[in-house]
C-alpha cells in the first residue's frame, strides 16, 4: 500500500493513537471523522472536536464527512427492519461494512489517497499465497476481528490497523505520553444512535409502526400469557417476560408471522445447528467441502468447535460439537481457524 492514508478518527483514544503511529511510520495522514446521525452518543457531531484536537496536535489535516444519508439507509434502517422481523441485529457490523470499509474507501480514492486506516484491534497479514488474512488482535478483551468479517481482499489490501499488535493499556500509555486530551476517555458501550438504550422506542419512531401485543406460548403451543410486542424481546431473554411462578422460562423463538413468542425452559434454548446467510469469506472463495472451524455466535462469546458446510445457494450450515445456548437470528456467526478469520454471516435459523 502507498504512503497516503485516510485515518478514521472517531474522537476516541484508539483512532488518535492509530494516527500518531502511522505518522511516526512515515505515512501522509488525513484524519476523517464521519458525521453519521444527528443524535447524541459516540458517533455524533461533537466527537469531531476531539478528533480535530488530536489532528491539530499531530499537524495533519482533518475533514468531517457527512455520511448521514448513507448511515441512515445502511445501518439504522437495517437495524429497525431486523427487529421488526423478530431478529436481533448487530449494527456495528453493518457500520463497519458499509461505512468504515466502503464509504471511507471510496472517499480515500476520491481524495487521491492509497487507503484507509482504523483503530481496530485486529491484524491484517498477507499470506505466502498472496491472499490477505484477517487475524485476531493479541488482547482477548479488545479483539475486534468478529465485527470485521465482511472485509474483502481488495479492502484488506488497502487497509491499515496499526493497533493490531497492541493491548489497550499500551495504547492509553502512548496517548498519555503524547499528551492527547482523550487519553483517559472511556470506550463507547451503547449503540451510538440509541444512546438511551430504548431500542423499541427507536424502532417505533423509525418505522412509524406500533408493534402489537401477542401471545407467549410454550413449546406445545399452549398460551402462557401476553407479550408487549416482538421488538421488546430477544432469543435467550429471561428478564422482563412478566410470566411469574414455576420454572424459569426463556425466549426460544420469535415468530413475527403470527406475532407469537415461544418460551422454553433453560435446557430447551440450546441448539446444535445454525444456518447463516449473507456469508462473507475472507479469501473470497467458499470451501468446497465441510471444514473444521471454531465458531463464535456472539461478539464476546468464546469460540466453539464446529463443522461448517456451504449449502446450495450459498448459505452456510454450522454444526457445533456441543449444543449452544440461544443461537439468535440476526446475530453474526464468525468462523475461525486458529487466530485467523475464515468468514462470517448472519444467523437466519437455529436447529436442535
CB atoms within 10 A of CB 326: 20
Catalytic residues: 95, 192
Q: What is the dihedral of CA 258, 94, 91, 341, to 10 degrees?
A: 100
Q: Which cell is 300 given? A: 464476546
- Contact predicate 95/77, CB 8 Å: no
- For 42, list phi and psi in degrees, rounded to 5: -70, -15
- Per this entry, what is the length of the chain? 352
| End-to-end C-alpha distance for the chain, whole angstroms | 46
Give the residue ranges of DSSP H helices in the chain: 13-24, 47-58, 68-71, 77-84, 91-95, 104-110, 153-157, 168-177, 199-207
Beta-carbon contacts of 111 under 8 Å, excluding residues fewer than 6 positions away, are: 6, 30
Amino acid at each position: 500500500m502507498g504512503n497516503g492514508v485516510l485515518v478514521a478518527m472517531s474522537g476516541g483514544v484508539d483512532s488518535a493513537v492509530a494516527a500518531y503511529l502511522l505518522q511516526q511510520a512515515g505515512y501522509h495522514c488525513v484524519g476523517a471523522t464521519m458525521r453519521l446521525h444527528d443524535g447524541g452518543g459516540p458517533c455524533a457531531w461533537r466527537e469531531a472536536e476531539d478528533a480535530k484536537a488530536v489532528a491539530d496536535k499531530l499537524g495533519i489535516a482533518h475533514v468531517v464527512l457527512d455520511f448521514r444519508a448513507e448511515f441512515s439507509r445502511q445501518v439504522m434502517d437495517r437495524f429497525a427492519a431486523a427487529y421488526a422481523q423478530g431478529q436481533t441485529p448487530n449494527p456495528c457490523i453493518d457500520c463497519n461494512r458499509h461505512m468504515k470499509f466502503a464509504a471511507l474507501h471510496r472517499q480515500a480514492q476520491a481524495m487521491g489517497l492509497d487507503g484507509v486506516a482504523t483503530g481496530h484491534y485486529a491484524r491484517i497479514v498477507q499470506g505466502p499465497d498472496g491472499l490477505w488474512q484477517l487475524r485476531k488482535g493479541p488482547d482477548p478483551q479488545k479483539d475486534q476481528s468478529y465485527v470485521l468479517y465482511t472485509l474483502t481482499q481488495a479492502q484488506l489490501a488497502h487497509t491499515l490497523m496499526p493497533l493490531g499488535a497492541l493491548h489497550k493499556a499500551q495504547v492509553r500509555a502512548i496517548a498519555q505520553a503524547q499528551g492527547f486530551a482523550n487519553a483517559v476517555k472511556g470506550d463507547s458501550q451503547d449503540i451510538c444512535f440509541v444512546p438511551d438504550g430504548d431500542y423499541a422506542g427507536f424502532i417505533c419512531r423509525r418505522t412509524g409502526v406500533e408493534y402489537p401485543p401477542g401471545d407467549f406460548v410454550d413449546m406445545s403451543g399452549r398460551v402462557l400469557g401476553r407479550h408487549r410486542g416482538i421488538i421488546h424481546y430477544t432469543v435467550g431473554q429471561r428478564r422482563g417476560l412478566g410470566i411469574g411462578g414455576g420454572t424459569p422460562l426463556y425466549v426460544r423463538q420469535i415468530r413475527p408471522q403470527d406475532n407469537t413468542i415461544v418460551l422454553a425452559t433453560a435446557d430447551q434454548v440450546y441448539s446444535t445447528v445454525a444456518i447463516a446467510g449473507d456469508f462473507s469469506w475472507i479469501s473470497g472463495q467458499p470451501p468446497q467441502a465441510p471444514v473444521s472451524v471454531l465458531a463464535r455466535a456472539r461478539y464476546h462469546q468464546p469460540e466453539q468447535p464446529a463443522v461448517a458446510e456451504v449449502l446450495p445457494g450459498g448459505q452456510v450450515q454450522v454444526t457445533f460439537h456441543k449444543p449452544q445456548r440461544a443461537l439468535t437470528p440476526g446475530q453474526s456467526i464468525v468462523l475461525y481457524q486458529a487466530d485467523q478469520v475464515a468468514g462470517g454471516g448472519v444467523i437466519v435459523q437455529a436447529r436442535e
